[in-house]
Amino acid sequence: MSVDPKRWQIGLVGYGEVGKILAEDLRRQDIKVAAYDIKLDGDQAVPLRDHAKTIDVVLATSHADLAAKADLIVSAVTASQAVPVARACAAAISQGVWFLDFNSASPGAKQRAAALIDGAGGHYVEGAVMTSVPPYRIKVPLLLGGSRAQELEPLLNAIGFAARVGSDKLGVTSAVKMCRSIMIKGLEAMVIEGFTTARAYGVEDAVLASLAETFPGIDCEKQGAYFFQRAIEHGRRRAEEVREVAETVREAGLTPWSAQGTAERQAWVADLADEGVFGTKGTIDFARSADWRMEVDRILARIRRRN
């Protein structure tokens, strides 16, 4: 393996929103990038292949094919796949290859993934992405964790990441991410439920006025629209993440009442999106309304049709 990270071949497992952003920013530096996504074998393959061809990303044929050729593997998949991806990559990973786990998984899941990678001779480092990726791209604040986090930090930052060590103990940085998500994803769920119910009763203006008095520093109209956008566009992924949040709460010995409810509400929004309630996925107008009322009215209309 080259000691110069700019000469690495980086393997991206997961070629969704995050994977594509990382690929674009790495290729701008002329760093070799390969990618694998299970969607490459399905009916969603064409746009992924087109994107990869446009920026000269090599598409691997399997997890093992990608792992065998990479100097750094970045796993950026849905939360439930964090451990299965580590297992699949461990089967072919070379000695000393870095494995950066970008996934929003519980500390316990990260520890299980680490055992697989380290047991196969790789170097596992957990990564906790601390905010939404698109505004920051590769510079998204990233906390690293594990016994080798200190070694990987300067190598990642040399190729554009904004990483810093959170802890040398595995699971700690994931706990930071998961506890943050209890609040952030929970706020999304509460706004969706509260605003939709308020509009159903015709009291949204009074509710918003009261919220403005209680939280004068928050633009509830703007924040509400943003929360609806994110949940509509990424509700499925968020639901999976919050189920990992719930597992984190359980690992601490608590019953995850709030997290479980948040996961169900996020999944509910994702189901509505899959039904086409908010328009056609992939179009420019999907999940882009500046007025949350438009999305609420679509939800209420769907509820009335069901009843």
Per the structure block, which two tokens stand in for 249?
């709460």
- What pLDDT does 1 receive? 62
Tell me how far CA of residue 270 lies from CA of 60, 219, 234, 240, in angstroms: 29, 25, 7, 11
On the CB side of 239, CA atoms within 13 Å amount to 16
- Please write the tens of the pLDDT for every residue from 8-66: 999 999 999 999 999 999 999 999 999 999 999 877 899 999 999 999 999 999 999 99
- What pLDDT does 151 receive? 97
Could you give phi then psi for residue 39, rounded to 5 degrees? -70, -15
CATH of domain 5-168: 3.40.50.720
HEC-encoded secondary structure of the chain = CCCCHHHCEEEEECCCHHHHHHHHHHHCCCCEEEEECHHHHCCCHHHHHHHHHHHCCEECCCHHHHHHHCCEEEECCCHHHHHHHHHHHHCCCCCCCEEEECCCCCHHHHHHHHHHHHHCCCEEEEEEECCCHHHHHHHCEEEEECCCHHHHHHHHHHCCCEEEEEECCCCHHHHHHHHHHHHHHHHHHHHHHHHHHHHHCCCHHHHHHHHHHHCCCCCHHHHHHHHHHHHHHHHHHHHHHHHHHHHHHHHCCCCCHHHHHHHHHHHHHHHHHHCCCCCCCCCCCCCCCCCHHHHHHHHHHHHHHHC
Mean residue pLDDT across the chain:
95
What span, in angstroms and rounded, lies between the C-alpha atoms of 280 and 207?
Answer: 31
- What pLDDT does 290 receive? 87
At residue 288 the predicted structure's pLDDT band, cuts being 50, 70 and 90, is confident
Which pTM does this prediction carry? 0.85
Residues 6+ apart with CB under 8 A from 122: 73, 89, 90, 93, 94, 95, 96, 97, 98, 99
At residue 283 the predicted structure's pLDDT band, cuts being 50, 70 and 90, is confident
More confident residue, 284 or 184: 184
At residue 79 the predicted structure's pLDDT band, cuts being 50, 70 and 90, is confident
Taking the domains of the chain in order of start, what are their residue ranges?
5-168, 174-306
pLDDT at 181 over 90: yes
At residue 284 the predicted structure's pLDDT band, cuts being 50, 70 and 90, is confident
Amino acid at 76: A
Percent of the chain residues topping a pLDDT of 70: 99
pLDDT at 154 over 70: yes
CATH of domain 174-306: 1.10.1040.10
- What pLDDT does 287 receive? 80
Number of neighbours of residue 184 by Cβ within 10 angstroms: 17
Percent of the chain residues topping a pLDDT of 90: 89
pLDDT at 2 over 70: no
Q: In what order do the strands lie in the sheet with 72-75?
A: 58-59, 32-36, 9-13, 72-75, 98-101, 123-129, 141-145, 162-167
What span, in angstroms and rounded, lies between the C-alpha atoms of 242 and 266?
Answer: 9
Number of neighbours of residue 253 by Cβ within 10 angstroms: 6
On the CB side of 189, CA atoms within 13 Å amount to 23
More confident residue, 306 or 87: 87
